[in-house]
Chain A
Amino acid sequence: MAAVTAMSGAADVDLATRHTYGDPEAFEEVYERFGALIYGIARRMSGDATLAEDLSQEILIRVFRHLGSFRGKSSLKTWIYRIAINSCRSRLGRRARRGRSWVDIEDDTFDAMPAPTEATDARLIRREASEVLEAALSRLPVAFREAVVLRDIHDLPYEEIAKILGVRIGTVRSRIARGRDRLRLAVAANDPEVPR
């Protein structure tokens, strides 16, 4: 396993070196491998398709500019996650400062959402539940949201999340737990299957 990691680490550094020497295929390869991941992070963090597209471009351009400085201290994937999270944090922070602040999850936003009627079929209920959950996620405080997104959607281990976020593992555990709990409360208001 360690040998495989070392090999992929060497391949990542090689990719960065090729990019530094002007090989256009190097960045194309990066895009092929991580483009969807970057968009996924941007989409879940922003909760908005248009903003996610713009954010993804910004992240990819930052990756392009800084790829030459990648030294292989972490995996390229972790390095890209870090750039993506930092870009999201910075952009979402700016939006929040401009007045589009993140509403606390326990406020009236969720109470105002209509509960599904009996006439709706199972698929519709599932879709509505997803929408409620996505809305709740997009309103979580950014620190909780990034921890929950990385753990529960991107399925990353706690140690890697700590590296990406630049915080201690204890902080990651606490943020994940509190983020999930806030989501639980928000979703429970509209979904009888989720206990309060």
Chain B
Amino acid sequence: MSSTDTLELLSRFLDGDVDEPERVRAESLLQEDAEARRLYEGLARVRGRLADLPEVTAPAHLGALVQQRLAVEADEVTVWGRLDRQLRRWLLDPSFLPAFAVLLALAAMIYALSFGIARFERDSGPVILSAPEAVTAPEGRAPARSRALASREFVRRGELWVEAGLVPAAPDLPVLSGAELEEWLTGHRELAALEPLGVVIVEVEGAAIGLDFTAGEGD
């Protein structure tokens, strides 16, 4: 019999939780084995001491504390419930329709305003250039000039007029990197301010793009 088995048998014997053969085994063990007797006595004493531990008394205010916490929770539930019922009443009452219309109009105005602000904020940000779709200019012709080229919208739409093949036709044009142009455009938003740039070649994402900032007749 292992020590674990002995321990469990004696612990159960202590509680009277044994069948007849187990009882006989436990009793003979206790008669013959001093170690088992010591173990049993120790277990019995621990059990007795646990049973004799002074009774603990719940604090007198425990019930009140619980009631208080429950009342707070109930109040929260009631507030939301009341609000919910009120909203339902309003929604189902036709006399509230004009008020709803006004509210709806207000909401639309707020949305429009916030949309405008968001757009303004977006437009105020740095210009991001991307390689435009290439437009093939007729052979031998210089690129057309366009006032609109200076506007950021125009750049955004990718309606730039130069393709790589035209660059060699104007070898003396200044070349800017995309980052340099972006920096320039960020600081000069008006067409007049961009005019000194004249016509430049910009390298954006590996593509050469011509930009004409001189004032002229638009397309």
Residues of A whose CB lies within 8 Å of any CB of B are 31, 35-36, 38-40, 43-44, 52-53, 56-57, 60-61, 64, 129-130, 133-134, 137, 148, 151-153, 155, 158, 173-174, 176-178, 180-181, 183-184, 187-188, 193-196
Q: Which 3 A/B pairs are nearest by Cβ-Cβ distance?
A: A177-B11, A39-B58, A152-B50
Q: State whether A130 and B54 are in contact (beta carbons under 8 Å apart), knowing that A56-B62, A180-B47, A181-B7 are contacts in the complex.
A: yes
Instruction: Write out, one digit per residue, whether chain B residues 65-77 have a CB within 8 A of any chain A CB (1) or not (0).
Output: 1100110010000
CB distance from B137 to the nearest CB of A (A): 72
- Min C-beta distance of A59 to chain B, whole Å: 9
Residues of chain B within 8 A (CB-CB) of A61 are 66, 69-70, 73
User: Cα distance A137–B56 when bound, in Å?
Assistant: 15
Partner of B46, one of A40, A53, A158, A183: A183
Task: Encode contact with A along B169-213: 1 for CB under 8 Å, 0 otherwise.
Answer: 000000000000000000000000000000000000000000000
Chain A CB within 8 A of B83 CB: no
Partner of B42, one of A31, A44, A188: A188
- Report the minimum CB–CB distance from B29 to chain A (whole Å): 14
Q: How far is the CB of A132 from chain B (nearest CB, A)?
A: 9
Q: CA of A69 to CA of B8 in the docked complex: distance in angstroms?
A: 37
Asked whether B66 lies within 8 Å of A40 as measured between CB atoms, the reply is no
Does A194 lie within 8 Å of B56, measured CB to CB?
no
List of B residues within 8 angstroms of A151 by Cβ = 15
Interface residues on B, range: 20 to 34
Is B63's CB within 8 Å of the partner chain A?
Answer: yes
B45 at the interface (CB under 8 A from A): yes
Q: Could you say which residues of chain A place their CB within 8 Å of the CB of B52?
A: 130
Q: Is B38 an interface residue (CB 8 A)?
A: yes
Residues 71-100 (chain B) with a chain A CB within 8 angstroms: 73
A121 CA / B90 CA spacing, docked (Å):
77
Give the CA-CA distance A52 to B38 in the complex, in Å.
35
In the complex the two chains form, what is the Cα distance from A184 to B14 in whole Å? 14
Q: Tell me whether B49 is interfacial, beta carbon within 8 Å.
A: yes
Are A53 and B56 interface neighbours, CB within 8 A?
no
Residue pair A155, B11 in contact (C-beta under 8 Å): no
Q: Complex formed: what's the CA distance from A158 to B11 in Å?
A: 12
* A180 close to B46 (CB less than 8 A): yes
| Inter-subunit contact B46/A187 (CB<8 Å) | yes
> Could you list 5 A-B pairs, sorted by A, with CB under 8 Å?
A61-B69, A153-B53, A177-B43, A180-B47, A195-B41
Known: A61-B70, A187-B46. A177 touches B51 (CB 8 A): no
* Distance (whole angstroms) from the CB of B202 to the closest CB of chain A: 60
